[in-house]
């Protein structure tokens, strides 16, 4: 049986490792710069895992979260914003380097899994994890397992059209995916900044503070953003009907979302009552690395045998 579980957050600039016990208690954490060279990055992950095992004296299951996805058809990385990873067999190469199966998953899915297992969504059967930051993403977890889908894009609600748009919202801004009117282009940080202060503005971090000080332009922008978020989440509820929705990413720190969004859902949710809780995340920036560790579920982890053990 594996002695502990390792999670790796494979970011654009850093690679972070955390070691968890089956109780979720963290026993080790460290990070190194991402060399941004494919072979060197694979070696960096291997060295982090082997170093942790040597220090703790045991064998681990290994999960890795990446800013992209592994294609189920080819086994190659796709949609990674670290473009040098695209088209590479990252999971297979890590499996070979560490002589055991390594599970690789999208970082938004890792966030959702972390919050579903022992975070804000713990105890809920279906959890939708939302990323609101420089982009808009999401992940779906059912009974503590990530729902990946046929194309490994389940939960990518940021690239669905903003639902129930007003005439002023159509056809909508152009998205990097090539479509117009994507939800991401209304809800991400730069979209909020531009809605508040006009084209060229990218930083939304001071808008809540300005609103609290009585800035009417900031107040109006936050109100529009909350109403648009409610429409987007109402569509998710109508399709998935999760037991809880957990918000992550930089914009999830805007406290007004947790009081303003829930009552706005009801207009668009096809149910006499909408009681879906909208929750702030519990683990914050640690959710990615913790979720990667939980890619090996509790029951599988109990019976897992590492290669050569």
Give me the pLDDT at residue 302, please. Answer: 58
Q: Give me the helices (H) in the chain, please.
A: 38-56, 90-98, 107-118, 184-187, 189-197, 207-212, 216-240, 257-265, 287-293, 298-303
What is the share, in percent, of the chain residues with pLDDT greater than 90?
92
Cα–Cα dist 225/219, whole Å: 10
Q: Residue 217 falls within a domain, yes or no?
A: yes
Task: Give the whole-angstrom CA distance, residue 203 versus residue 173.
Answer: 18
| 79 plus 154 within the same structural domain | no
Q: List the CATH number of the domain containing 19.
A: 3.30.420.40
Q: What is the pLDDT of residue 303?
A: 55
> Domain check: are 86 and 226 in the same one?
no
Question: Do 125 and 249 sit in the same domain of this protein?
Answer: yes
Rounded to 10 degrees, the C-alpha dihedral 188/254/199/180 comes to 30
pLDDT at position 304 = 52
- Is the same domain home to 162 and 219? yes
Q: Tokens 């990518």 appear where?
A: 156
Query: Which band of pLDDT confidence, cut at 50, 70 and 90, is reported for residue 306?
Result: very low
Q: How far apart are CA 144 and CA 146, in angstroms?
A: 7
Contact yes or no for 155/140 (Cβ under 8 A)? yes
In a domain, 113, yes or no: no
264 and 162 belong to one structural domain: yes
Provide the token pair at 169.
Answer: 């919202």
For residue 308, pLDDT beyond 50: no
**Averaged pLDDT for residues 6-14:** 95
Instruction: Please give the distance of CA 19 from its chain centroid, rounded to a whole number.
Output: 19
Same-domain check for residues 218 and 91: no
Find, among 53, 54, 32, the residue nearest to 43 by Cα. Answer: 32
Give me 196's structure tokens: 């508040």
Our count of domains for the chain comes to 2
Same domain, 245 and 261: yes
Q: Residue 27 pLDDT > 90, yes or no? A: yes
What pTM was estimated for this model as a whole? Answer: 0.94
Mean pLDDT (whole number) for 50-78: 96
Q: What is the pLDDT at residue 111?
A: 97
Please state the rounded mean pLDDT for residues 203-221. Answer: 98
Residue ranges making up the domain that contains 61:
4-106+286-303
The pLDDT score that the predictor gives to residue 276 is 98
Q: What is the spatial distance between Cα 100 and Cα 248, in angstroms, rounded to a whole number?
A: 31
Is 244 found in the same domain as 277?
Answer: yes
Do 111 and 295 touch, CB atoms closer than 8 A?
Answer: no
């Amino acid at each position: 049986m594996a002695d502990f579980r390792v999670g790796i957050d494979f970011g654009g600039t850093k690679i972070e490792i955390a070691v968890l016990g089956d109780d979720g208690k963290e026993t080790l954490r460290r990070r190194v710069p991402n060399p941004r060279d494919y072979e060197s990055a694979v070696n960096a992950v291997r060295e982090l895992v082997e170093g942790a095992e040597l220090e703790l004296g045991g064998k681990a299951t290994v999960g890795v979260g990446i800013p992209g996805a592994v294609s189920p058809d080819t086994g190659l990385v796709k949609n990674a914003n670290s473009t040098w990873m695209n088209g590479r067999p990252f999971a297979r190469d890590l499996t070979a380097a560490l002589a055991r199966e390594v599970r690789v998953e999208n970082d938004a899915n890792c966030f959702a899994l972390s919050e579903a297992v022992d975070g804000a969504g713990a105890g809920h059967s279906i959890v939708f994890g939302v990323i609101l930051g420089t982009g808009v993403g999401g992940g779906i977890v059912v009974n503590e397992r990530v729902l990946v889908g046929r194309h490994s894009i389940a939960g990518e609600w940021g690239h669905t059209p903003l639902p129930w748009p007003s005439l002023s919202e159509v056809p909508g801004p152009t998205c990097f995916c090539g479509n117009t009117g994507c939800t991401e282009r209304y809800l991400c940080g730069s979209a909020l900044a531009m809605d508040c202060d006009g084209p060229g503005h990218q930083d939304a971090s001071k808008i809540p503070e300005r609103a609290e000080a009585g800035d009417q332009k900031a107040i109006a922008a936050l109100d529009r953003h909350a109403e648009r978020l409610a429409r987007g989440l109402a569509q998710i509820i109508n399709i998935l009907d999760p037991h809880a929705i957990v918000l992550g990413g930089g914009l999830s720190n805007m406290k007004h979302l947790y009081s303003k969004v829930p009552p706005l859902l009801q207009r668009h949710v096809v149910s006499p009552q909408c009681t879906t809780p909208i929750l702030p995340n519990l683990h914050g920036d640690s959710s990615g690395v913790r979720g990667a560790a939980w890619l090996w579920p509790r029951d599988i982890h109990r019976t897992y045998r590492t290669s050569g053990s």
